[in-house]
C-alpha cells in the first residue's frame, strides 16, 4: 500500500495529511468574502479568466460568521467531533488592504473548532504589507495559501486571460517559501489547445518546487463565459474521461510523493455546465484513476524513483 494513504489510494491523500497532522476529521468551510480580482476590476484586465462564472457581483451572505456556521452546523450532524478550516475561496482573497483582510479573517479564527485558514489568491495579489500580515497569521494558526497557476505555459495563460505570468508565480512562491508559509497550487487539465505533454510539464515543474500540495482540476465549460463563446466558435477538443484519467495518472507518477493531492477532479456547476458531462460523476472519475494506477502497478512519484 502507498505510504501516504489510509484508504488504499496510490497517491498522497488530503485525508491522510489531516489525520496525521491533527488526529481528527477535518473539513474546509468554503467562504465568499466579497473580494474581487485584478483581471476583473480593470487593474490588469476585465472579465476574469475566460472559464470564470464567479464574478464579485454574485449574491452571497455578507456576514462571514453566519456563512461559516451555516455550513459548519450541517457538518456537525455527521461528524460532531470534527475540526474546521476556514477556506476563503471566491476570487482573490488577499487583494485588499491589510485592515480589510483582518476584518474578514480574524472573526473566523475565533470560531470554535477552527484550526486554520486556507486562503485562495493570485500570485500577483500579495503585497509586502499583506505578506507581513500572512506571516503573522502563519505564526498564530495553520495557514495555507492556495495559488492559482493553472498552467506553466504563458501562451495558454494569455489565451485564458489569466493576466499574470509564470515569473510572477515564481517570485510569489519564493517569498512565501522564505516565510515558511505552506502553499497549495491549482492546475487545470484540458485548457484549450494544450497537449498531454504540456499538462505533464506543468506537473513536472511543480514537483521540483517547495509546495505542500496541489489541486488538479478538469476544465469545464460553463454557460455565459468567454470560454463557452470560444468553444462555440472554434470547437476546441475537450478531454474525454479516459484521456483525463490517463493524464492525471501520468502527472501523479511525476509528482514528488510528499506533495499532498488536495483535489484530483472537479465539481462543476451542473446548472450551467456545457461540457464535459462525464465530470458530474465525480466518484466514477476517482474510481477510474484508482483502477488505472492499479492496472499500471503505479503510484505517485514512481517515475521519480526510477
| Contact call for residues 259 and 211 (beta carbons, < 8 A) | yes
| Residue at 5 is within a domain | no
| Residue at 248 is within a domain | yes
| Residue at 203 is within a domain | yes
Residue 245 has pLDDT above 60, yes or no: yes
| Residue at 88 is within a domain | yes
pTM above 0.85, yes or no: yes
| Residue at 179 is within a domain | yes
Exposure of 31 in the CB half-sphere (CA atoms within 13 A): 29
Q: Per residue in 132-169, pLDDT tens?
A: 999 999 999 999 999 999 999 999 999 988 878 999 99
Whole-angstrom Cα distance, residue 179 to residue 265? 30
| Residue at 302 is within a domain | no
| Residue at 72 is within a domain | yes
Residue 56 has pLDDT above 70, yes or no: no
pLDDT at position 58 is: 55
| Residue at 222 is within a domain | yes
Q: Per residue in 171-203, pLDDT tens?
A: 999 999 999 999 999 999 999 999 999 999 999
CATH number at residue 189: 3.20.20.70
For the chain, what percent of residues have pLDDT higher than 90? 76
What is the tally of structural domains in the chain?
Answer: 1
Whole-angstrom Cα distance, residue 299 to residue 32? 35
pLDDT at position 57 is: 44
Domain holding 164, by residue range, is 14-297
Amino acid at each position: 500500500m502507498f505510504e501516504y494513504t489510509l484508504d488504499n489510494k496510490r497517491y498522497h491523500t488530503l485525508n491522510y495529511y489531516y489525520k496525521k497532522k491533527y488526529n481528527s476529521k477535518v473539513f474546509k468551510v468554503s467562504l465568499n468574502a466579497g473580494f474581487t480580482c485584478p483581471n476583473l476590476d480593470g487593474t490588469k484586465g476585465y472579465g476574469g479568466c475566460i472559464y470564470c462564472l464567479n464574478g464579485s457581483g454574485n449574491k452571497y451572505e455578507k456576514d462571514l460568521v453566519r456563512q461559516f456556521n451555516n455550513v459548519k452546523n450541517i457538518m456537525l450532524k455527521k461528524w460532531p467531533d470534527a475540526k474546521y478550516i476556514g477556506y476563503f475561496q471566491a476570487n482573490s482573497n488577499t487583494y485588499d488592504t491589510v485592515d480589510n483582510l483582518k476584518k474578514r479573517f480574524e472573526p473566523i479564527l475565533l470560531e470554535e473548532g477552527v484550526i486554520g485558514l486556507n486562503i485562495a489568491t493570485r500570485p500577483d495579489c500579495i503585497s509586502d504589507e499583506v505578506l507581513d500580515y500572512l506571516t503573522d497569521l502563519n505564526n498564530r494558526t495553520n495557514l495555507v495559501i492556495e495559488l492559482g497557476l493553472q498552467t506553466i505555459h504563458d501562451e495558454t495563460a494569455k489565451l485564458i486571460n489569466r493576466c499574470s505570468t509564470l515569473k510572477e508565480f515564481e517570485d510569489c512562491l519564493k517569498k512565501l517559501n522564505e516565510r515558511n508559509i505552506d502553499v497549495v497550487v491549482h492546475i487545470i487539465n484540458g485548457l484549450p489547445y494544450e497537449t498531454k505533454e504540456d499538462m505533464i510539464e506543468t506537473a513536472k515543474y511543480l514537483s521540483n518546487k517547495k509546495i505542500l500540495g496541489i489541486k488538479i482540476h478538469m476544465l469545464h465549460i460553463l454557460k455565459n463565459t468567454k470560454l463557452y463563446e470560444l468553444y462555440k466558435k472554434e470547437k476546441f477538443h475537450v478531454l474525454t474521461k479516459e484521456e483525463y484519467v490517463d493524464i492525471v495518472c501520468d502527472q501523479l507518477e511525476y509528482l514528488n510523493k510528499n506533495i499532498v493531492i488536495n483535489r484530483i477532479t472537479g465539481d462543476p456547476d451542473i446548472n450551467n455546465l456545457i461540457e464535459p458531462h462525464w465530470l458530474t460523476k465525480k466518484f466514477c472519475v476517482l474510481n477510474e484513476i484508482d483502477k488505472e494506477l492499479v492496472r499500471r502497478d503505479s503510484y505517485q512519484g514512481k517515475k521519480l524513483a526510477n
